[in-house]
Structure 1
Amino acid sequence: MPFRLTDVLPQWTQPKSAGDGALTLAAPGNEPADAYLFDPLDAAPYLLDLSENENSVPENYREVEKRPDVLVYTSEPLQEDVAIAGEISAVLYAASSARDTDWLVRLSDVDEEGNSIRLSDGIICARYRHSFAEPKLLEPGQIERYEIRMGKIANVFEKGHRIRVCVTSGAENFSFPNPNTGTDLATETETVVARQHIYHDEQHPSHIRLPLLPKNR
């Protein structure tokens, strides 16, 4: 069941299990939410270590995506090349058991061997979902809408490759894990394990926006 792409492609569909969902263009229906536990003391790694100046190394997230705290949504193999260029963004409908947390959305290009190469990602701290100037904590369990900017890229997804979107709440090596407590991020020493829900139904159509290039270019 799916996550959706727009402009080019799909929405997201419910995973059959954690890390096994669909990315589709089909309209959302009455789909149950997906869930995972986010432990700030065991956050998913971000493979690009900025301290080591690894900007030129393509990161393969194939193993990271097997973690139970990473939701994975993948398209069917492409029947032809798909070219994109421009701003990438995602709309995420999500709820957390915590007063504050982080959400990360990642776009990858998956080859025929199953290697999942990161193209772009974006992360947002829930308390800043409306404004950086006026942070607002979450009501546990309440569904919120998040706009997540993922930068500008250009890429050709080759025929036979698949498009993948992942959702998680940690990016170890890239950002300090959110403690989920809703207190001061700079001084908090305690952490809380959060139960996270991602929605992709008709009322909460989570999706990623991809800027598709015309085929004649």
Structure 2
Amino acid sequence: GANAWRTFDAWPPPGTPRSLWLGPDGRLVDQRVDLAPAPRRAFDQFVSDPARPVPYSEAVSTGMTREYMVDDQRFAARRPDVLVWSSEPLREPVTVAGPVVAELWVSTDRDDADWIVKLVDVLPDDAPDHAWVPEGRHMGGYQMMVRSEVLRGRYRDGYGAPRPFTPGRPTRVRVPLQDVLHTFEAGHRIMIQVQSTWFPLVDRNPQRWVDSVYEAREEDFVAATHRVYRDAQHPSRVEVTVIPTPAAPRGD
């Protein structure tokens, strides 16, 4: 980021809406025209297994650490149960401010699922190390989590109206992430990660419909194949607002 404080007359500040479309081959694209035309159905899929959940951090710890909020997400991006889309290296800085909302078309071959979305800042491979970087770790290629959130799929229409998914049917879900003020510097990439487990930060969804996940039995926990669609009829995107990036301060 820009590593600078900013002051605004109102929040969120006025800016230009921008959609980051989930495209083919793991590409994050600016134009919806890059999506597969109707009636072709394009998607990426993964198998989510509650018995092998995605951990919230690569580090092994006995408690919840605060560092997970800016942890290197490469450990997650390497997993087959995490979908990844990335932009090309940015030609100029991009500053996003205000709400971040993922609008996804998804399906599952079961009848319940959680959807976890991460907004990630990917540093260049030649990014320099800093003095505070732990020994043996490097900033080159670092995938810094900027924002993240989970949607428990049964509550996609509100907490007062839980309902299962129809297996195989594309369904639109909205995942609001936390507000943000962050600058993706030139040469960095913008990345989106999607997964369905985040243990133990989020308790496991059995993925088989039960009245309450807190009362699920061992046999209710099943593996499921989830899809995220990215075609013209079912476009998936992340909505942000872009504001001008301030000039970098001059040195003395």
CA shift at 1:139, angstroms? 0.9
Aligned mates of 2:205, 2:148 — CA distance in 1: 17
Report the equivalent of 1:3.
Answer: none
Alignment of 1:82-101 (within 5 A): 82-101=94-113
**Paired AA for residue 201 in structure 1:** D
Report the equivalent of 2:182.
Answer: 155
Report the equivalent of 2:145.
Answer: 118
Q: 1:204 aligns with which of 234, 237, 248?
A: 234
**Would the aligned equivalents of 1:50 and 1:174 in 2 still touch at CA under 8 Å?**
no
Aligned mates of 2:70, 2:245 — CA distance in 1: 26
Aligned mates of 2:66, 2:45 — CA distance in 1: 32
Q: 1:25 aligns with which of 23, 30, 47?
A: 30
**Would the aligned equivalents of 1:50 and 1:173 in 2 still touch at CA under 8 Å?**
no
**Would the aligned equivalents of 1:128 and 1:136 in 2 still touch at CA under 8 Å?**
yes
Determine if the alignment matches structure 1 residue 75 to structure 2 residue 104.
no
Larger Rg: 2
- Residue 216 and residue 9 in structure 1: after superposition, are their counterparts in 2 closer, same or farther (change >3 A)? farther
Contiguous gaps of at least 5 residues in structure 2:
1-15, 126-140, 248-252
CA shift at 1:53, angstroms? 4.3
For normalisation by structure 1, the TM-score amounts to 0.89
Determine if the alignment matches structure 1 residue 187 to structure 2 residue 194.
no
Q: Which has the higher strand share?
A: 1
Aligned mates of 2:87, 2:188 — CA distance in 1: 9
Contiguous gaps of at least 5 residues in structure 1:
1-5, 16-20
Aligned mates of 2:31, 2:206 — CA distance in 1: 36
CA shift at 1:50, angstroms? 10
For normalisation by structure 2, the TM-score amounts to 0.77
**Would the aligned equivalents of 1:40 and 1:192 in 2 still touch at CA under 8 Å?**
yes
Aligned mates of 2:62, 2:192 — CA distance in 1: 22
Between 100-109 and 30-39, the greater mean CA deviation after superposition: 30-39
